[in-house]
Amino acid sequence: MIIDPQSSKPIFEQIANQLRRQILSGVFKPNESLPSLRRLAKEIRVNTNTVQRAYDELSREGLVEARRGAGLFVIDADANSPSTKSEDRLSKELQKAIARAVEASVSPQRIRGIFRDALEVQLSKAQK
Amino acid sequence: MIIDPQSSKPIFEQIANQLRRQILSGVFKPNESLPSLRRLAKEIRVNTNTVQRAYDELSREGLVEARRGAGLFVIDADANSPSTKSEDRLSKELQKAIARAVEASVSPQRIRGIFRDALEVQLSKAQK
Amino acid sequence: MIIDPQSSKPIFEQIANQLRRQILSGVFKPNESLPSLRRLAKEIRVNTNTVQRAYDELSREGLVEARRGAGLFVIDADANSPSTKSEDRLSKELQKAIARAVEASVSPQRIRGIFRDALEVQLSKAQK
Amino acid sequence: MIIDPQSSKPIFEQIANQLRRQILSGVFKPNESLPSLRRLAKEIRVNTNTVQRAYDELSREGLVEARRGAGLFVIDADANSPSTKSEDRLSKELQKAIARAVEASVSPQRIRGIFRDALEVQLSKAQK
DNA sequence: GTGGTCTAGACCACA
DNA sequence: GTGGTCTAGACCACG
């Protein structure tokens, strides 16, 4: 991991880029690991917040998943293949809805935002 | 703007949520500025970083655009454009689909995974 | 029982909320046990400490009672007792009063402070 | 601060008791600090979780208030004296509602739980 | 110990 | 003055 503090590219971006490459090239295997926030921060001598921000990026991209109290885990792509009927149905419905939105040139970011909202609403309803 | 520092919901999220609502409902008009980082921070008595993070969210979602040295501007794809209708529709469709999945006890994790997949598929299709 | 590990709402709170609702709505009958710590923890795949904390909340609220070596028992002041009516009434009255205060932009902090004071006053009066 | 690990009294309770006494006797003045979790934990050689639990007690009692990222602050009793009309009104309404509930022998814990719920509901409504 | 959120205060590039 | 990045160090939820 090489950091250039002088670069115009933000440090957190440099970190994210290198981790992304390592994940995609299989240096980090699905379903475990990635160095802890504090360990990596110490190692490359930057603040934990900076590493945190890099991890945040990867989370947002869906490459990695943070489990509170446990660590950062590389997402297992296989686990994402729909299998049960409910999931299959959900997948198809989402595909359709998203397709229409994309067609109407709603930005991917907005789609994500709307999805997050929708999920949250449904989960809180379900809790009652 | 109501902030509850004791809430389990992060402050930056509370801010982002309220701003998002205000933008979509037209309180802030397209092509003009939101309150500056420091002004808003002072007003609601939180750290500038916290407001920054909220602004970051809205940027990512494509609702606003930051112009360095100038301020935050509401994106022109404005509140009454066809795009809003599309987003409304998308929101409703996602709500329904997710509600059914939750009912069928698909885990939030899986729902997110399936959504990510679906979005990716649609985006790559759209590129062709 | 639906758990969303990614939610900003703490897991123990999600668990407590759902159990509370189930108790109040009569899914769990008075004088009998809730699922054991370890069983529930295993079922929803969280750490026993997390479930423990949720049970702790319910204990504090007086909804359940832990009997060492036996389990968690729903308190007898049961779901259809006059007490529930009182609670319902209290809930509605608090809702109204708080709504007005929020409307008048009293901060959540102040509302909490005022509530604490009011409760203390009433309790000390009751002691006489 | 004196800790007796052999005592039957839980350590977190010993800590809480001593802190409480110090606060009430004015060793710690309103509106400022209290040693940080980790500092106190190190000083008296106990786990941070234990100190955490003691602080938790004091929070619940309304003696101190945790401000995220800043520290633990002694509540300013004066700041709790109602002054504006809205707060006055709120106070009276809460008094009445609570008085009735106490009369109907709703436990203080339940009252607190119901209040928390009610506040949360109103705040989330206000956000929309 | 691990990730997440927050504060205080700093420096930078840009207008 | 604006937004953007960074550090140091705090509490919080969780395993």
Under 8 Å between Cβ of C64 and C74: yes
Which residue's alpha carbon is at the shortest distance from the C1' of F14? A69
Question: What pLDDT is attached to residue B100?
Answer: 93
Q: Are residues D51 and D101 in the same domain?
A: no
Below-70 pLDDT ranges, chain D: 77-83, 127-128
B48 domain-assigned: yes
Question: What pLDDT is attached to residue D82?
Answer: 59
Q: How far is CA A35 from CA A16, A28, A66, A71, B66, in A?
A: 13, 10, 12, 8, 33
Question: Are C2 and A127 a contacting pair at CB < 8 A?
Answer: yes
Q: Are residues A46 and A16 in the same domain?
A: yes
Under 8 Å between Cβ of B62 and A110: yes
Q: How far is CA B98 from CA A64, A120, C21, C81, in A?
A: 23, 10, 22, 37
Q: Is pLDDT above 60 for C79?
A: no
B-D contacts at Cβ under 8 angstroms: 15
B87 domain-assigned: yes
Phi, psi angles (nearest 5°) of residue D28:
-105, 120
What is the C-alpha separation between B30 and D113, in angstroms, rounded? 43
Buried residues in B36-66 as b, exposed as e (16+ CB within 10 A): ebeebbeebebeeebbebbbebbebbbbbeb
Which residue's alpha carbon is at the shortest distance from the C1' of E15? B69
Q: Which of B116-125, C101-110, D15-24, D75-84 has the lowest mean pLDDT?
A: D75-84
Question: Are D123 and B7 a contacting pair at CB < 8 A?
Answer: yes
Q: Are residues B113 and B89 in the same domain?
A: yes
CA angle D1, D3, D6 (to 5 degrees): 170
Question: What pLDDT is attached to residue B48?
Answer: 96
How does the average pLDDT of chain A come out, rounded?
87
Q: Is pLDDT above 70 for B77?
A: no
pLDDT digits (tens, 9 = 90+) for A65-81: 888 888 899 987 665 56
Q: Name the domain boundary from C74, C90, C119.
A: C74
> Structure pTM?
0.83
Q: Name the domain boundary from C31, C55, C74.
A: C74
Q: Are residues A36 and A56 in the same domain?
A: yes
Q: Are residues D72 and D99 in the same domain?
A: no
CATH number at residue B17: 1.10.10.10
B98 domain-assigned: yes
Q: Are residues A42 and A70 in the same domain?
A: yes
C113 domain-assigned: yes
Q: Are residues D24 and D59 in the same domain?
A: yes
Burial zone of B86 (CB within 10 Å; 0-12 exposed, 13-18 middle, 19+ buried):
buried
Containing domain of residue B42, as a range? 11-74
Rounded average pLDDT over A3-13: 91
Question: What pLDDT is attached to residue D50?
Answer: 86
How does the average pLDDT of chain C come out, rounded?
84
Task: Tell me the residues of B at the A interface, defined by beta carbons under 8 Å apart.
Answer: 20, 60-63, 82-83, 86-87, 89-91, 93-106, 108, 110-119, 121-123, 125-126
Question: What pLDDT is attached to residue B51?
Answer: 96
Q: Are residues C64 and C86 in the same domain?
A: no
Residues in a beta bridge with D74: D64
Better-predicted residue by pLDDT, C67 or C116: C116
Rounded average pLDDT over B25-40: 85
Question: What pLDDT is attached to residue A13?
Answer: 94
